[in-house]
Structure 1
Amino acid sequence: MITRVLLVSLLAAGVLGVGLWLDYGAFLKAPVPLPEESTILDIPRGTSLRGLARRMTDEGILRHPYYFIALAYRQGDQARIKAGEFELTAGMTPVDVLARITSGQVVQHPVTLVEGWTFREAVAAIEAQDRFTGTLSDLSDEDLMASLGRPGEHPEGRFFPDTYRFPRGTPRLTVLERAFDRMEQILAEEWAGRREGLPIDSPYEALILASIVEKETGAAHERPQIADVFVRRLRKGMRLQTDPTVIYGMGDRYEGRIRRADLREATAYNTYVIDGLPPTPIALPGRAAIRAVLNPADGDSLYFVSRGDGTHVFSATLDAHNRAVRRYILGEP
């Protein structure tokens, strides 16, 4: 009698075990139910495997917390749960979820610095990214550069305009540091490939001129031509006479138009008044603008005037330039 009961018990246990194994196998292969096509799973630092499994079950992501725990132990991942934000997408199985949260492949949040922005516009964009930590806006330019290990240096133009991605909780100063390092790298690469004989004595002078080129045209194909005009003017000892430098020198006083008095104002940046380059860049130049000033087009132009559509008319003589001004600025036939 005892033997029969034991046999029945063993058979029942075996059936139950097979059923659990089959159910476990189905659990591993079935996509996890997500409330949307994708969801962000935020795992705080110090979260345990058991605590995470229970939480995902409570949120409807997992059907069985203990199956997920068993999977982690079976794969040796029980102590490899990473902290951070992880994106779960439709079709992911529990195996995929475990692989994602043990890989450290956290969500990267983008912040974009735009070509032609000023340094303070770049700082404002980084400050507006609420997933980052720390503050930049309360620091002076001097303090920010000192924090980057560049005390006494001017920040304008020193940060490469691009889209950068960082995980939640990244210090904002780290974002700025990467943009600074990226500009250093790009500038060194382009300087190494520069044309010989340019009237540009250092990478920093190239950065200054590139920032002016960046502000002068929105037409990418014109950058080498614009650069050629400025390089030729520098060779001849002519003043650059470029409006963006006037605007930068005016600072907050600029209200959308330049008056004759503004062109005559003796600021450090007004290239209608000063000889050569201004003391610092006036904006964040991209690689194309830097490359243009270090490898300008071959031409004979000394002047250019806007057509009003984002492009320019280039002229080699003052007479031709004045005709272009009368046509495109004054509207004369």
Structure 2
Amino acid sequence: MKKTLILTTALTSMAFAASAQEVTVMSWGGAYTKSQVEAYHKPFMAETGITVNSVDADNPGTPIKAQVEAGNVTIDVADVEYSDAVRLCDEGLLYEIDQSMLPAAPDGTAAADDFIEGALTDCAVANIVWSTVFAYNTANLEGTPDTIDDFFNTAEFPGKRGMRKSAKANLEMALMADGVPAAEVYDLLETDEGVDRAFAKLDTIKDDIVWWEAGAQPPQLLADGEVVMSTAYNGRIFNAAVSENQPFEIVWDGQIMDFDLFVVPKGAPNKEEAMKFIAFSTGTQPLADQASWISYGPARKSSGALVGKFMDGETDMASHMPTAEANLTNALVNNFEFWADRDTDLSERFNAWLAQ
């Protein structure tokens, strides 16, 4: 009897080990990862029994190329910016994603018709619409900046500025601050004269810039008084203001709208589970649920009506979304193809400019 019990226990343990499933998801950390854990990871684990391992990076797109080329992929799903999704797919570093596996909207509308235009690509599925904006701490700044020009106006608004240590977004904002209409920014950046003009504008505040690399840094820089204004991801500022009662204000003028998308690196150890995770997480309800944790717009049309209040039960989220009508004045949609083609060249020039 005892031997039978031992054998049965051993076989049961072996069967459990064989059936144990997991998926490793890399994201950006902070309030953003928390929103995904609450809206995606926990419900997915409860429904499927598949364990989600959450890891973070300053930019989840960065390690993919090295891991795939080394044949040592540890990430199953990565949350990446659009230009990285396009570039990595073009380089053959990502699995293609079968769009037919994505769940339909509650009214039966096919996923391909329910996602916002541009949110689906061969190798990626978008989950959020987010923006790079600039924000300020009302306790540390006299006056009320209200345009992207004011970010560059250190005469009227003296003090340090925080900016992401990257060419992307900074060049666009510089041109808009220099009077270029949003609709003409990328046409101008396609020319040497346009790039020169953007860097010349950045030169005017170069000595006042504090550079940041991780999304959690701008709110901290503003809170500590190290800068009086900073570019930032809109959701990080919202969370600091609402959840932590920081006296921060967002200026939407000159915002640069973007998608974040889920991708699966080639060689992912748990490809099947990764696809299941993406299909679940980009369903109508999970996308709406994420918007109750952070002010990023869901990438599905059917999710919009389900977006309600913030987790505090008081704050209506609609007006805090980048896509709110009042926030779209002088908004620029990131040109993903431009950055997929020009990122390397412009990043090299940006790094050389930093070193000058």
TM bracket (short chain): under 0.3
Query: What is the TM-score when the length of structure 1 is the normalising length?
Result: 0.27
Query: What is the TM-score when the length of structure 2 is the normalising length?
Result: 0.25
Higher strand proportion: 2
Higher relative contact order (CA 8 A, sep 6+): 2
For the pair shown, which has the larger CA radius of gyration, 1 or 2?
1
